[in-house]
Structure 1
Amino acid sequence: MSGCSFSVLTVTYGDRYDLLLEGPYKTALENGLNLLVVCNGVSESYLQKLCKLEAEHRITIKLIVHEANQGSAGGFYSAIDNAKVFNTDYYLLLDDDNYLEYKLDNDFHYKDASFFPRDGRSYINAAIKGETPDNYLAKPNSFLGFSIERALRKAFPKSKGSFALDSFSFPWAPYGGLMLSQKVLNSGIMPNKELFLYCDDTDYTYRISNMFGLYLNTKNRVLDVGDSWNVSAAGNVITRLQNGEERWRVYYSVRNQVFFDKSVARNYLSFSLNTFVFCVLFLTFYLFKVNKSKNGMIVAKAILDGFRNRLGNNGFDL
């Protein structure tokens, strides 16, 4: 094969064989690529199916087995740490339910860090339409995606003519669809395992973007075989947090986002003001909601833990 060479890296958990088969495995098979799978506390039956798939030798598969679920942060840390077993030019990260719509172009000039678009993300959709994604991206000093500046930007958006996709470096991107060169993998930038679940991809790619830039590649597209909670949940951030049925998802997403927002804030006064306004809005919504949410206390705990750097795996029984 001439041109660039690629490998696929993914993390799976539970019993998601059918999703992985229709996602990363199918992508690797159709493109003739190596596939590294981190088994993050998978069921015994799932592991047996993966071992059988590996033994078929239709493509080269490398399994990394974690006895317990180490979260997306620990999972992708292992995937990236072990990726050098495949000596390829680029490494494509996919969630275990992601499928690449088209075959990879191995003659295309890929940047050191880029990502393919996915549905359900307003900043990506805007960029593809030729609009500046700044109107949809949270900026430093924001709190859980809210800032007075961002609210004003939405009310008075920038001119569409000021945006050039090829030269625009995004501040972050999801794991799924991320394309990284060997240079990035050898840079020492790794996911923060202490984040465990949620926002670890934002934190990781933010650091990559600062060093290498991070660019949207519209030559392909990532399809989601399954649903992502943060994307599929309807409403704004306050209603999603109030209505979230799985408390552990609410906890980790809030805790880690608060930790990240605090870490990248550039103006303490502005960050504090945005934090105060968000908390007032959240409390007002909670007090005047007819059917009281059970998530009020878990959100409060998550905010405090994020501010106090109380990270790590707190389990799923929250």
Structure 2
Amino acid sequence: MSAVTVLTVTYGDRWPTLRGTLASVLDEPAAHIVVVANGPRPASAAELRSFAAEHSGRVQVVALEENLGSAPAFAAGLAVAYGYGDAVLILDDDNPIPPGLISDLRSVEEATRAKLPAGHPFALEVFRGVNSVHRAIAEGASVDYLFREQRPGAFQGFDLPALLNARLRGRAVTHASNAHRMLTVRAGGGTHTLVEIPNAMWGGLFLPEDVVSRGPLPKTELVLYGDDNDFSTRLGKQGIAIYLCLDLAIEDTLVWKVPQRLPGLRRRLPTTFQLPDSDSWRMQYLHRNQAYLSRVRMEGTKPASRLRFALNVAAKLVLLAGFGVLAGRPGYAAKLIAASTSGLRGKLGPSYPLPG
């Protein structure tokens, strides 16, 4: 079996989880690893250096002195990983892989290539239970509905006309078929179901050699949140399809949970307003980048879509202000509105402080 380069990014004090991920990859004889140390704590950095020295020739470390965000880190790591010329499997640092996953991916890749027209490039996404969209697709929900934020005119995943049409919304979720997006392939002695999706997460994305040769990189100015969606869009613009493999899965060692801190009815507010102030940087990057990507999708669209977009922008910003009042956090809402406005104006880069 030809070699695979596994790329992962770590930061802060995450050596305990990273160690398990690295060990699981090294159990695969045809795999080598590129680790981007994105501003790790001194103890974690020392452990990683020691591990790399112990496995010299199979583990390469790309050291970034401070946390630059996921987009710059994955860009730096991909630039190195592409240099090997092998297929690339991207993992989060808490994604230990089950035995045989890489050989299974290779088998599914070969079977998928035989099903598609000659020369049709594609990437594979491994199923992750932590991803609610992956779970919904497995349960039969419409891909078109689940990725509705990519519809021209939607803003930050919000589309008021569609929400007001409850009948359309229900039909889209429960009855729309994904048959036109599905492939069934036989590989490794079993049958695998693939579903074409427009966006992939970083962790679990597999890029075959013909994709690697094109050298796609994320937009570093996004810093983090939405950079994986933008990378997926860049793949799509190069004619590269992304297929979610429902039958190959990885688990997350760490699952980020939203703290339930608001009392009474305020618990029903959006997740954004149930986060502590210490996490405001997360939501500022998220809202800024979502606004920017929504605006980019509007380029070259028809006047009706632009009008719909303007309506959705106004409605969403008013809702953010209203939720801020209900949560007793108008200042926090103002930060999110300002971040959204920055995204609409294309003001990107490291605008908000990152941990470490």
TM-score computed with the length of structure 1 as normaliser: 0.88
Indicate the residue corresponding to 1:30 in structure 2. 27
Q: Does 1:57 find its partner at 2:55?
A: yes
**Equivalent-residue separation in structure 2 for 1:280 and 1:71 (angstroms):** 29
Q: Would the alpha carbon gap of residues 60 and 149 (structure 1) be closer, same or farther in structure 2, given more than 3 Å must change?
A: farther
Deviation sequence 1:280-318 (CA, Å, 0-9, x none): 2222222334x3354112102101111111110124279
Q: Does 1:282 find its partner at 2:293?
A: no
Indicate the residue corresponding to 2:157 in structure 1. 145
One-letter identity of the residue aligned with 1:123 = V
Q: Would the alpha carbon gap of residues 309 and 238 (structure 1) be closer, same or farther in structure 2, given more than 3 Å must change?
A: farther
Conservation of the 8 A alpha-carbon contact between 2:6 and 2:34: yes
Conservation of the 8 A alpha-carbon contact between 2:320 and 2:336: no
CA drift at 1:48: 1.6
One-letter identity of the residue aligned with 2:229 = T
Indicate the residue corresponding to 2:245 in structure 1. 217
> Residues 1-318 of structure 1 correspond to what in structure 2 (within 5 A)?
2=1, 4-23=2-21, 25-32=22-29, 33-57=31-55, 60-88=58-86, 90-104=87-101, 105=104, 106-109=106-109, 112-137=122-147, 138-140=149-151, 141-151=153-163, 152=165, 153-157=168-172, 160=175, 162-164=177-179, 165-166=182-183, 168-210=195-237, 211-228=239-256, 239-245=270-276, 246-265=279-298, 266=301, 267-289=305-327, 291-292=328-329, 294-316=331-353
Conservation of the 8 A alpha-carbon contact between 1:16 and 1:46: yes
Identity fraction in percent: 27
One-letter identity of the residue aligned with 1:258 = A
* 3-state secondary structure, aligned to 2:109: coil
CA drift at 1:102: 4.6
Deviation sequence 1:240-272 (CA, Å, 0-9, x none): 222222111111111111101110123211111
* 3-state secondary structure, aligned to 1:100: coil
CA drift at 1:239: 1.8
Q: Would the alpha carbon gap of residues 251 and 103 (structure 1) be closer, same or farther in structure 2, given more than 3 Å must change?
A: same
CA drift at 1:172: 0.7
After alignment, is 91-100 or 129-138 more displaced?
Answer: 129-138
Q: Would the alpha carbon gap of residues 81 and 223 (structure 1) be closer, same or farther in structure 2, given more than 3 Å must change?
A: same
CA drift at 1:117: 1.3
After alignment, is 113-122 or 297-306 more displaced?
Answer: 113-122
Cα RMSD between the aligned structures? Answer: 2.6
**Equivalent-residue separation in structure 1 for 2:89 and 2:135 (angstroms):** 21
* 3-state secondary structure, aligned to 1:201: helix
Deviation sequence 1:144-172 (CA, Å, 0-9, x none): 11113542443332564621232743111
After alignment, is 210-219 or 172-181 more displaced?
Answer: 210-219
Larger Rg belongs to: 2
CA drift at 1:92: 0.6
Q: Structure 2 unaligned runs (5+)? A: 113-121, 184-193, 261-265
More strand by share: 2
**Equivalent-residue separation in structure 2 for 1:311 and 1:237 (angstroms):** 31
**Equivalent-residue separation in structure 1 for 2:269 and 2:226 (angstroms):** 17
TM-score computed with the length of structure 2 as normaliser: 0.79
Q: Would the alpha carbon gap of residues 241 and 159 (structure 1) be closer, same or farther in structure 2, given more than 3 Å must change?
A: closer
Q: Structure 1 unaligned runs (5+)? A: none
Conservation of the 8 A alpha-carbon contact between 2:323 and 2:333: no
* 3-state secondary structure, aligned to 1:114: strand
**Equivalent-residue separation in structure 2 for 1:195 and 1:316 (angstroms):** 13
**Equivalent-residue separation in structure 2 for 1:281 and 1:161 (angstroms):** 29
